[in-house]
Each structure stands twice: as C-alpha cells, then as structure tokens.
C-alpha cells in the first residue's frame, strides 16, 4: 500500500509583530532622546591634539568669546548647582548686592553668569532664552576693573580644602589682554591649575607625537 503524499508548503513567517515592535522602539527613542542644545555663548575653540577628557564634576568654566566678553558657569549636576549657589551667596555678601533668595535661585538655574555685579538682579529676571552672548559679560578690562578676581575669590572660598576643575574656554580669535586678565584672577587666588578647552583633532601622521602614540607612550609622559 503506497504512502499518501503530503503537499510541501513553503515556510511563511509573519513579520507583522516584529515590525510593530521595531516601530514602537523607534518611536520610544525619538521621543525620549535629548538633543544637545545650542550654546548660549558660541565659542570657536582652537584645535589641538590633546586627548585628555574634561572632568564631569566640580566644574567652573570661564568662557571668553570672540568679542572679549567673559562668562562663568558651572556643571549641571546637583552638587555643582549647590556650589554655584554658595558662590553667588559669597559674592552677594562680600559686595553687599542685596540679592534676594529668589534672585539667587534664578541665577543658579541660569546657564551662565554674564553681567557686572550691579546687573546680577537684572539677569535674574531675564527668561533663559534671553541669556545669550548679547549680555555685556563680566568686566575683565584691567587691574582696576577685573571682577573675575572676586568671582575666583568666591570659588576658592567655596572649594576650600578641595580643588575645583577650572576650565578656560577661549575663542580662537579672542584678544590676549582679556585672556591675560583671567589668568591674573586665577593667580591672585592661588588657583594655579586649569585646563584649556580645545577642539580635538587627530595627530598628524609622521610627527613625534604620532610615533609616540604608535609605540603606546602616553602624551603626558612626553
């Protein structure tokens, strides 16, 4: 007796469920992703081949734009915000500015400080979108009007016993006198260690640094 022949059918995989899952995941990532916001103070940093990564906490950044305006900011972490509030309280007390708690809280939330002492209350009232490079900046014109010295004094006071991670982010076309006066503010408060923020680029092939990297020699050991 012959065996009955079973008709062969091609395998059929229903991809509907997988497509649904893929689109759900795609929608989730699109809706939850936070894109990097544009800089309130654009600074075109010079190129360098330094490979050292900037720190992520205890940050105090001084920005110098192409117009010579100076701004000060801190990190976004809770601890950095707390330090920023202490720095503002110190400036408020030492300069007798009379800032209210609400104004100080508003300045803590601000992306940076970019006005002379007498205009801090005014900056506290500005919406965040109006806090940009149009602000006058912190005066650092000369030794008689270098308010960065007082800001660095407050930083040194708040970080007493520890060292802040000082970052100096200067524009590629910024004039030297403003840069020099910022360094002077550091020195007057015994803040001798800081990092320059630059635009990293690859090491040119054939150079001594390139040869050292190929041999596994660390840059700081050169």
Measure the CA angle with vertex 97, ends 95 and 100; round to 5°: 135
Give me the pLDDT at residue 36, please. Answer: 52
Three-class SS of the chain: CCCCCCCCCCCCCCCHHHHHHHHHHHHHHHHHCCCCCCCCCCCCCCEECCCCCCCCCCEEEEEECCCCCEEEEECCCHHHHHHHHHHHHHHHHHHCCCCCHHHHHHHHHCCCECCCHHHHHHHHCCCHHHCCCCCCCCCEEECCEECHHHHHHHHHHHCCCCCCEEEEEECCCCCHHHHHHHHHHHHHCCCCCCEECCEECCCCCCCHHHHHHHCCCCHHHC
**Listed residue (164, 168, 169) closest to 153, CA to CA:** 164
Query: Which tokens go with 23?
Result: 């689109």
Give me the pLDDT at residue 188, please. Answer: 94
**Listed residue (100, 53, 105) closest to 84, CA to CA:** 105
Give me the pLDDT at residue 34, please. Answer: 62
Distance CA 113, CA 120 (A): 8
Per-residue pLDDT of the chain (222 residues; tens, 9 = 90+): 566 666 666 666 666 677 777 778 888 777 776 655 556 677 888 877 666 677 778 899 999 999 999 999 999 889 999 999 999 999 999 999 999 999 999 999 999 999 999 999 999 999 988 999 899 999 998 878 899 999 999 999 999 988 899 999 999 898 889 999 999 999 999 999 999 888 876 666 666 655 666 676 555 554
Domain ranges within the chain, ordered by starting residue: 57-200
Give me the pLDDT at residue 17, please. Answer: 72
**Listed residue (48, 76, 72, 40) closest to 196, CA to CA:** 48
- Beta-carbon contacts of 51 under 8 Å, excluding residues fewer than 6 positions away, are 200, 219
């Amino acid at each position: 007796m012959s065996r009955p022949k079973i008709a062969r059918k091609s395998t059929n995989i229903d991809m509907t469920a997988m497509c649904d899952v893929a689109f759900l995941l795609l929608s989730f990532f699109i809706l939850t992703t936070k894109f990097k916001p544009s800089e309130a103070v654009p600074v075109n940093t010079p190129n360098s081949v330094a490979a050292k990564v900037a720190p992520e906490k205890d940050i105090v950044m001084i920005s110098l734009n192409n117009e010579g305006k100076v701004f000060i900011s801190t990190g976004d972490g809770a601890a950095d915000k707390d330090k920023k509030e202490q720095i503002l309280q110190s400036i408020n007390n030492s300069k007798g500015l009379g800032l209210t708690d609400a104004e100080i809280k508003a300045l803590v939330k601000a992306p940076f400080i970019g006005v002379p002492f007498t205009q801090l209350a005014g900056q506290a009232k500005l919406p965040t979108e109006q806090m940009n490079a149009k602000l006058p900046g912190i005066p650092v014109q000369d030794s008689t009007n270098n308010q960065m010295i007082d800001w660095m004094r407050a930083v040194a006071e708040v970080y007493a016993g520890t060292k802040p991670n000082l970052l100096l982010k200067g524009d590629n076309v910024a004039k030297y006198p403003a840069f020099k006066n910022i360094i002077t503010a550091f020195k007057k408060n015994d803040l001798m260690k800081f990092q320059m923020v630059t635009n990293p680029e690859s090491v040119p092939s054939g150079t001594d640094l390139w040869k050292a990297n190929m041999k596994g020699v660390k840059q700081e050991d050169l």
